[in-house]
Amino acid sequence: MKPKMPGNNRWRNNPTLARTATIYLLNPRTEEFLLIYHKRFCRWLPPGGHVKDDEHPIDAARRELKEELGLKTRIGSLKGTLKKKSGKDFRVVINHHEPNDAFCVIEEFIGSPANQRPLIYFDHIYMAILQPEEEAELRDRDKVEDWSWFTVPEIQKIKTFDNVPVICEAILEHLNRR
């Protein structure tokens, strides 16, 4: 049985589904998130990528962070709730109260490349805190053009997917309640 998609028909046009893992890396001193400028999507995004067939999503998130930026940060077990359950390009599938080791899991409508089926990512979202001794270094120059630290207000102004500032806000809100 196919899951019910939001009202927009683009979610129903025989999409290609892909499992992905994304890691939101936070500098707690500055409340900034590390984002990469992704060449293919021409947007600022958190590090992440496709989950291999024999790989757990948390391991994929670790692998992507190391491949893209040379970081081996420990991924936290923070569980979150997104108050905004959907947007133009995403919808929440799993929030923290359901059994999962991710902060949340979302479906993201990535779009329809020219003459191809629509692409939807089933994305496991993880969160990590930058360790004081760690420093990012651009590694995957085929995929990543640049990286930088952004506050939530800055993220709301840059070119990114609509779920990115929502997730950043939820992470900060959840950490501030602890």
- pLDDT, tens digit, 9 for 90 and up, residues 88-137: 667 777 655 445 678 888 888 877 656 567 788 889 999 888 877 778 87
Helix (H, G, I), strand (E, B) or coil at 152: helix
Structural domains present in the chain? 17-177 (3.90.79.10)
- pLDDT, tens digit, 9 for 90 and up, residues 39-75: 888 999 999 999 999 999 989 999 998 888 888 877 7
pTM higher than 0.85 for the full model?
no
Q: Residue 64, exposed/middle/buried by CB under 10 A (0-12, 13-18, 19+)?
A: buried
**Predicted pLDDT of residue 141:** 79
Residue 78's pLDDT band, with cuts at 50, 70 and 90, is: low
- The rounded distance, in Å, linking the Cα atoms of 6 and 133 is 43
- The rounded distance, in Å, linking the Cα atoms of 13 and 156 is 29
Q: Residue 40, exposed/middle/buried by CB under 10 A (0-12, 13-18, 19+)?
A: exposed
Give me the chain's average pLDDT, please: 80
